[in-house]
Structure 1
Amino acid sequence: MSEILLEAQNIVKYYADRKVLECQNFKLLRGDHVGVVGLNGSGKTTFLNILAGELQPDEGVVRRNCEIACFAQFGDACAETDGERRFAGSLELDGRDTVSGGENVRIRLAETFGGNKPVLFLDEPASNLDAEGVKLLSGQLQRTETFLLISHDRWLLDTLCDKIVEVKDGQITCYSGNYSSYKEQSEQIRERQLFEYEQYVGEKKRLTEALIDRERKANSVKKAPSRMGNSEARLHKRAALEKQEKIHNARKALESRIHQLESKERPKNAPRVSFDFSLTDPPRNKIVIESEALSFAYGKGAKSHAIFDGAAFQIAGGSKTAVLGKNGVGKSTLFQLIVGGDGQIRIAPKGRIGYFRQDFTQLDLEKTVLENAMAEAIQTERTMRNLLARLLFRRDDVYKKAGVLSGGERVKLSFAKLFGSACNILLLDEPTNYLDISSIEVLQEMVREYEGTVLFISHDRTFCDSVATRKLTIENGKILEQGGAPSKKKAKRPDDSEKALLELKLAEVISRLSIPGVPDREKLEAEYQALLAQKRKLS
């Protein structure tokens, strides 16, 4: 049996009178590689800080049987010990006095790894790291025996983790396997909840209709006709009373069954958004952006620093192009040259550029979410409200002022403004920063479904691989092409009868699984998984 390094029991944490976290039991075993996921503000950092002893719970206890090294999301770097300097070398740091944001993260990671503690707790360590930095971080964590990792980088969670902890609605739920396995298990739970909800609605409707029928029959029991004799009237009255009593008993039984039905809530679906892309008057050109020989340098004379030296590239209309390269090679500079109308770059006549950058200057902080979204929108208000809902601005959230939004919420509002505008070519510079995984996955779908052209810079490998139809790498002043995700041929639409048959089989298996003590449960579970896989393949 694996050694227990940390155990938390009956943990409860309040902020003011609001319960923000509850955990009945959590164990960290030697050798565990645990990923922690959840929406921004769900309590992930609170959970980590309580386990580490940096925050005290209001109820419950945490037993720690070893030392823990913690990497906070925000902090300053000061690697001073021999061990820390050795790890700084392994993270490719050169010891300069002034460092960038990404280098600051690398130095702080060196401090964390260099402490030689048996357990590491890391809160968003991939923030500000470029692709090479994330790769180096992954290598260090693979050599770490036990760790707890909060991250929005799905590639790291898939590559490194064997357990996933979900923090949702203040509750802690543990899943075995990596992030992809967690997503699959979550989807299976959701599908079963949907089936149970539909069963609940159907049964409640059937019982309610039966109750209405009983009441109708009770009202139809007539009094004795006036022409009847006394003895006949008494017999009729007795029969009527007996009939009414039976109907009344049946009605009470139905009411009881309706009352005893276990209430089920319908699992929430993200609202679908249908853009009228023709309103943007998109260019019909095959190539919408191109340059034959782009040259650019910062500074002049001996102090100049060349970024591009005769670089050539083309961007096809409707493509989704990832722009890759190490920090400092010129990715953001290329975007700025495109937006600034540099004479060396040609843009199709009807091409209108929308530029996402993380300074939020495009937001009016005194206006509401909805007012900001509608300010330059060419789509209908209904479409924009659906878009905001898809980005998790729901109900009264649209009336919040932009000034009170978190960094992640401001990013999502900026996306709403951009996608709803008249622009038909989008440039997204690090769009996934500040976003939780759920929001990244929503953005991922939006970019894939977008009918216009998208260029994006991102260090999120999963996002790039999922979205990009093409990849450009900036290297040594040139822009080189490499294969992105291949364009997929349109799959043959499955026959409706095949789908219907599969749905019937699934319903039958789930119905049998819901029976307590059903025999051959393992066999039924295996059949359920196989049918689910067929359904995904058809979809």
Structure 2
Amino acid sequence: MLSINNLSYYIGGRALYENASLHIKPKDKIGLVGLNGTGKSTLLKLINGDYQPSSGEIQKAKDCTIGFLNQDLLSYQSEDCILDVALEAFKETLQLQEEIDKVLKQMETDYSEETINRLAKLQDQFEAKEGYTIKAKAEEVLEGIGFSTLDLKRPLKTFSGGWRMRVMLAKLLLEKPSLLMLDEPTNHLDLPSIQWVENYLRTYEGAVIVVSHDQEFLDNCIETTVEVSNGTLTMYPGNYSFYQREKKERMEIQQNAYENQQQMIKQTERFIERFRAKASKSNQVQSRIKALDRMERVAEVVDDNIAVNFKFKFSQKSGRDVVVLDHVSKAYGDLVILKNASARIERGDKIALIGANGKGKSTLLRIIDGTEHIQGKREQGHNVIKSFYAQHQLEALNVDNEILQELQQAGSGKTDTELRNVLGCFLFTNDDVFKKIKVLSGGEKSRVALAKTLISEANFLLLDEPTNHLDIQSVNILIQALQQYEGTFITVSHDRHFIRGVANKIWYIENQEIKEYPGSYEEFVYWKSQQQENQAQVRQEEKSKTEPRKKVFNDVELQQNKKELKKKEQELTQLESKIMDCESLKSELEAALSDPENYSVPEKLENLNRQYQQVKLKEDELNREWEQLVELIGTLQENIR
């Protein structure tokens, strides 16, 4: 379907890709992985035609269509409601609808056979493209990724960037291109929406390429992993977990080969040095020198999975109670977030606050922080020192500062050596620490802001979506940091891999209350599934108890269906009589129209033609009624059986 052959792409003098190749087949589900800056998003733009290769070629089949979701779409604005924006996916079908509307307008004055035939042809094409179901499909996809039914009529421009990105995703999914390319699609989705997209992509009929930092998302929707590293594309025939296992094995094999080769090189070099001056050994020495020159060197393995060691310092520990909420209520107009909700955060709690967007997770985080006005009582414990991380803090970074300067001004009291060690943990090494904030990518800024949060002497962290914009390696570093953190934290996140790695309690908002599960995310998922099974069993038992009453109800319903069936059968007989009368009149008019004498009187001919078109329309209408009535009778007969 699409082939990348010997692709090279240079930025300045640096080769981002060099002789890279990849073949994408129909229905492939590919995850594109690699460190930030290796060129994953660039590859998608090369495939899309936004960039041109320095050399090599990208070939695609003539019938291959490409849909590309990328962060540039955040700037898209429209006065149209989001349902209409999503429906733009069906351009040809909408054009047919416009043509049909024009013809129907024309038929108010023009009953010619040509017009009627044109209408019938357009309606056939519209039906073939499933035009009558496109609205329902668009509504299903939009609601699947988190929009409410009321949202569908709101203009796109009234939504935030993240929600606009969801609309763009819905539009792409509805277009169903041959190749769907998604660059960080989970960045703006909540957990239920992520799971919905996973299920959708698993059964997607076309090919998919996904760039994502969400490891569980990749595991659940891809079947092939392609690693971008050192300008090449390496394929692994499995999901992300398979890739991790397989890569580890390949690295061990490569490292063994590297060490064996290095040992052989050293032995050869010792032989050359020892016998270089001996004439009797000159041929052997020259032979071994040439062998070394011809040798294809095995590269030393560079492990991307960095193990880091954070040294957190607290000037003081907090008291046992960190924050206590007592009968707290919060509402925005008619939207009630919390009602008489109570909760307690204790020293050492590692809490993940999960759930769908719109439930009030970020609001609850601000309530815990003490920056949100509430009804009820919030008490902060003894010696609690807070530090709050949220995406808006990226904008609070001083863009003219160097990275090291930014941390120096955080007031942590750490030496430059200590700060450079912290930055090294967040992948800023050597001269990277002197980069200006303004030249950093979104992911790099996130790492700087997180580093600032962690170097503070805070014993209580509030983290709102800390993994957004981080690559997989950075997420794993953050997990290690929080596992070594001895204080207390609460985090809002939709990244299941991250939650599994750090949380010892799960919070969620349900029925305007704060609910707590005192265990890991894995245990919470199992508990929740057991709850759902128990509820289903209770519903089944209740259904069994109501069966006798249902039988009485069904007997009444059966008599009603029989009565309705008799009525509809009578209507069918009357309708068939009307159709026969219509066909008879139509035959008479056809005979009159074929009579040459009538052609000599234009007024009479025009009158006959108008009557004929009216009768034909009437006949079509009666036939449609007949089809609907026959279908209804069939349903009633089935119910009676």
TM range (shorter): 0.7 to 0.9
Larger-Rg structure: 2
Partner of 1:500: none
Cα distance in 2 for partners of 1:484, 1:65 equals 53
Equivalent in the alignment of 2:386 = 353
Separation of aligned partners in 2, 1:273 and 1:378: 21
The equivalent of 1:90 in structure 2 is 140
Provide the alpha-carbon RMSD of the alignment: 3.1
Q: 1:141 aligns with which of 155, 176, 201?
A: 201
User: Does 1:79 pair with 2:86?
Assistant: yes
The yes-or-no answer on 1:370 pairing with 2:404 is yes
Paired AA for residue 49 in structure 1:
K
**In the alignment, what sits opposite 1:185?**
246
Q: C-alpha separation between the residues in 1 aligned to 2:521 and 2:153? A: 42
Pick from 357, 361, 368 the counterpart of residue 327 of structure 1. 357
Structure 1: distance between partners of 2:289 and 2:8: 39
Q: Which runs of 5+ in 1 are unaligned?
A: 219-243, 489-539
CA–CA separation in structure 2 for the residues paired with 1:446 and 1:483: 22
Aligned to 1:51: 47
- What does the per-residue CA deviation read over 1:39-68, in whole Å, with 9 as the maximum and x for residues that have no partner? 333222222233334443333241324332
Is 1:385 equivalent to 2:420 in the alignment?
A: yes
Output the amino acid matched with 2:38.
Answer: S
User: In the alignment, what sits opposite 1:521?
Assistant: none
For residues 299 and 424 of structure 2, the distance between their equivalents in structure 1, rounded to whole angstroms, comes to: 19
What is residue 293 of structure 1 aligned with on the other side?
327
Cα distance change on mapping 1:108 and 1:264 into 2, 3 Å: same
Equivalent residue letter for 1:73: N
- Tell me how far 1:177 sits from its aligned partner: 0.3
* Greater per-residue helix proportion: 2
Report if the CA contact (8 A) 1:273-1:383 is conserved: no
Q: Which runs of 5+ in 2 are unaligned?
A: 77-81, 91-130, 524-641
| 2:63 alignment counterpart | 66
The match for 1:196 is 257
Deviations 1:384-414 (A, max 9, x none): 3232223221221111111221111110011
> Which residue number in structure 2 is paired with residue 233 of structure 1?
none
Match of 1:414 in 2: 449
* Identical-residue share of aligned pairs (%): 31
Alignment CA distance shift 1:450-1:32 (3 Å): same
CA contact (8 A) 1:102 1:128 kept: yes
Q: Classify the secondary structure of the residue corresponding to 2:67.
A: strand
TM-score (norm 2): 0.64
1:110 corresponds, among 170, 175, 181, to 170
Q: How do 1:349-498 and structure 2 match up within 5 A?
A: 349-359=382-392, 360-375=394-409, 376-482=411-517, 484-485=519-520
**Structure 1 equivalent of residue 348 of structure 2:** 318
Mapped partners of 1:285, 1:203: distance in 2: 61
Give the direction of change, closer, same or farther, for the CA distance of 1:22–1:344 in structure 2 (3 Å limit). Answer: farther
Q: Is the 8 A contact 1:102 1:130 kept in 2?
A: no
The yes-or-no answer on 1:32 pairing with 2:65 is no
**Partner-residue secondary structure (3-state), 1:165:** strand
Which residue identity lines up with residue 439 of structure 1 in the other structure? Answer: S
Aligned partner of 1:340 among 348, 364, 370? 370
TM-score normalised according to structure 1 size: 0.75
Amino acid across the alignment from 2:366: Q
Q: Which amino acid aligns with 2:153?
A: R
SS at match of 1:456: strand
Could you list the per-position Cα deviations for residues 61-82 of structure 1 after superposition, in whole angstroms to 9, with x for gaps in the alignment? 4132433241322323622346
Q: Take 1:321 and 1:485, find their aligned partners in 2: how far apart are those partners?
A: 9
Change (3 A) 1:404 1:54: closer
User: Is residue 132 from structure 1 mapped to residue 139 from structure 2 by the alignment?
Assistant: no
Instruction: Report the secondary structure of 2:450's partner residue.
Output: helix
Is the Cα contact below 8 Å between 2:350 and 2:502 reproduced in 1?
Answer: yes
| Cα distance, 1:353 vs structure 2 | 0.9
Please say which of residues 180-189 and 205-214 is displaced more in the overlay. 205-214
Deviates more, 1:105-114 or 1:78-87: 78-87
Shift of 1:328: 2.0
Decide whether the 8 Å contact of 1:86 with 1:114 is kept in 2. no
After TM superposition, give the deviation of residue 17 of structure 1 in Å: 4.5
State the 1:165 CA deviation. Answer: 1.4
Q: 1:156 aligns with which of 194, 217, 231?
A: 217
Deviates more, 1:135-144 or 1:477-486: 477-486
Kindly tell me: are residues 164 and 65 of structure 1, through their superposed partners in 2, closer, same or farther at Cα, counting changes over 3 Å?
farther
- Name the SS for the 2:153 alignment partner: coil
CA pair 10-197 structure 1, distance change in 2 beyond 3 A? closer
Aligned amino acid, residue 351 of structure 1: V
Paired letter, 1:143? T
